[in-house]
Amino acid sequence: MSRWEPNARERLERAALALFAEHGYDATTVAEIADRAGLTKSTFFRHYADKREVLFGGQDMLVELFTQAIRSASPSATTAGCLAAALESVAVAFTPERHDVAEQRRVVIAANPELRERELLKRARLSSAMADALRARGTDETTARLAAEIGVLAFGTAYARWAASGNRQPFTEIADAVLRDLQARATALGAS
Amino acid sequence: MSRWEPNARERLERAALALFAEHGYDATTVAEIADRAGLTKSTFFRHYADKREVLFGGQDMLVELFTQAIRSASPSATTAGCLAAALESVAVAFTPERHDVAEQRRVVIAANPELRERELLKRARLSSAMADALRARGTDETTARLAAEIGVLAFGTAYARWAASGNRQPFTEIADAVLRDLQARATALGAS
DNA sequence: CAGGTGATGAGACATGGTGCCATCACCTAG
DNA sequence: CTAGGTGATGGCACCATGTCTCATCACCTG
C-alpha cells in the first residue's frame, strides 16, 4: 500500500465524501482528506483545482452525455425532443447502485452554501453546453438558451427527486414526467 | 479624514471596483482595498462576508424590487404580466448615470471565474425569491419555478445588453423586448 | 544498468477569513 | 462638565486554502 497505489482520484473522492458526511464540509481539512486517502495535500490539489471540486468529478461526463445526445439527434427532431433525448441519455449515470452515494452527496451539498454555489456553476456550464449544441443544429439563439435553461431545470428537479431518500423510481421515468410537466406549463405561460 | 469618516461601505466599494479594474481581481488584496478606503482588513470583513461580496452590494435591493412588484400586482394579472411588472420595477436601478459604473463592474466580473460563480448565486437567489412571490399569489409550483427562471434569464440578458459599451437604450425598453421574445419562444417550444 | 518520465512528498509562502481585545469618537444621564 | 455606555474601528494572532519549487521514488526503456 505504498506511494503508487492506483486510483488516487477515486480514493480522494471516497475519503472526502465520507469525512464531509461525518464531520461536515467546513470541519474537514484538505490534509485530512488526503491523509485518509493515503496521500498528501500537494497531491490533492494536483487532482482537484480546489476543495469543492472533489465532489463534482462526474460533471464532465454529464456535459458530454448531454451534448452528445443533442448532436446525435435526428435533424428533424424538435427542440423539445432533443431535451427529452438528452435527459434520457444521462440515465446511465443514475443507476440504483449509485443511489446511496448520490443521496449522501446531495445532503452534503445541500448543507453548505459554498457547495451549493459550486453546483450552480456546474449547472450553468451544463446549460451553456446544451445551448451550444442546440445552436449547432440550427436552433435560434433565444430558443436555444431558453430550452437549455428548461432542460437544466428539469434535470435538477429530476435528480433531486431521484436521489431523495426512499425513492427508487428509475431516473428516466422521473425525468420524463418532469419534462412533460414543464413543457405544458411553458405553453400556458407563453399563451397568456 | 480620521477614523470616523462616514460611508465606509461606499468607500470600500469604490476602492474595490477601481483596483479590480486597474490590476485585476486576483492581483488585488483585501488589505489594498481597505487601505485605499482609509480602513483596514478587519473593517472590510465586518462589512462584507468575503472579498467577492464587495461587488454585489445592491443585490438585496434588486430582490426587494422584484418581489415587491409581484406582491403588488393585481390578483387578476397573468404570470407573464407579473414578470413584465417585475422587470419594469427594477429599471430605477439602471439609470443612465449609473451606466458607466455598471459597465466597469460587468467587465470585472466577466474576467474572473470566481466572480461569475458568485453572480450565478445571486441570480439563483433572485429566481428563488421570485418563485416564492409567485407561489404566494397562488401560482402552482412548476409554473412558479419556470416563470422565475425565465424572468431571471430575461433580466440577465437585458442587463448585459444595457450595460454593454455604447448602448444607451433605456433598460425598460430592452427588458420589454427580451421578455416578449422569450414568451413567444416558450409558446413555440411548448407546442412542439 | 543508466537514464528518462510521471506521479508523489515536503515545505515555504501569500492570501483569505475568523476571533479577540484594545481603542477611539460620540452620545446621554446625572 | 464628567462618567459611563455604545458602536465602529484597529491591531494582532491564528488557521486553512491554494501556489510554487524542488527533491524523491517507482516504473519503463534502451
Give first-to-last CA distance, chain A, whole Å: 65
Query: Distance (Å, rounded) from C-alpha B183 to C-alpha B168?
Result: 24
- Give the dihedral sign, CA B95/B96/B102/B106: positive
pLDDT for B4:
59
| Residues of chain A contacting residue B189, judged by C-beta atoms under 8 Å apart | 79-80, 143, 146-147, 150, 183, 186, 190
Q: Report the range of poorest mean pLDDT among A13-22, B58-67, B183-192.
A: B183-192
Instruction: Give the pLDDT band of residue A166 (cuts 50, 70, 90).
Output: confident
Residue B86 and residue B69 in contact, taking contact as beta carbons nearer than 8 Å: yes
| Nearest nucleotide (C1') to alpha carbon of A9 | C7
| Residues of chain B contacting residue A80, judged by C-beta atoms under 8 Å apart | 189-190, 192
More confident residue, A163 or B152: B152
Q: Report the range of poorest mean pLDDT among A68-82, B16-30, B164-178.
A: B164-178
Query: Distance (Å, rounded) from C-alpha A88 to C-alpha A84?
Result: 6
Residue at the smallest CA–C1' distance to nucleotide D24: A3
**DSSP label at B24?**
-
Instruction: Give the pLDDT band of residue B2 (cuts 50, 70, 90).
Output: very low
Is there a contact between A142 and B78 if contact means CB atoms under 8 Å apart? no
Determine the distance between A14 (CA) and D30 (C1') in angstroms.
40
Average pLDDT over residues B185-190: 88
Query: Distance (Å, rounded) from C-alpha B92 to C-alpha B161?
Result: 16
Query: Distance (Å, rounded) from C-alpha B84 to C-alpha B70?
Result: 9
| Residues of chain A contacting residue B188, judged by C-beta atoms under 8 Å apart | 143, 190
Query: Distance (Å, rounded) from C-alpha B20 to C-alpha B32?
Result: 11
Residue B149 and residue B127 in contact, taking contact as beta carbons nearer than 8 Å: yes
Q: Report the range of poorest mean pLDDT among A14-28, B94-108, B129-143, B163-177.
A: B163-177
Query: Residue A159: pLDDT above 70?
Result: yes
Locus of grid cell 493515503: A38
Residue B107 makes CB contacts below 8 A (sequence gap 6+) with: B21
Name the residue facing B187 among A118, A124, A187 (closest C-beta): A187
pLDDT for A31:
98
3-state SS string over A58-108? CHHHHHHHHHHHHHCCCCCCCHHHHHHHHHHHHHHHCCHHHHHHHHHHHHH
Name the residue facing B189 among A79, A120, A157 (closest C-beta): A79
Tell me the one-letter amino acid at B29. Answer: T
Whether this prediction's pTM lies above 0.85 is answered by: yes
Report the gap between the CA of A5 and the closest CA in chain B (Å). 34
- Residue A110: other Cβ atoms inside 10 A: 12
pLDDT for A2:
42
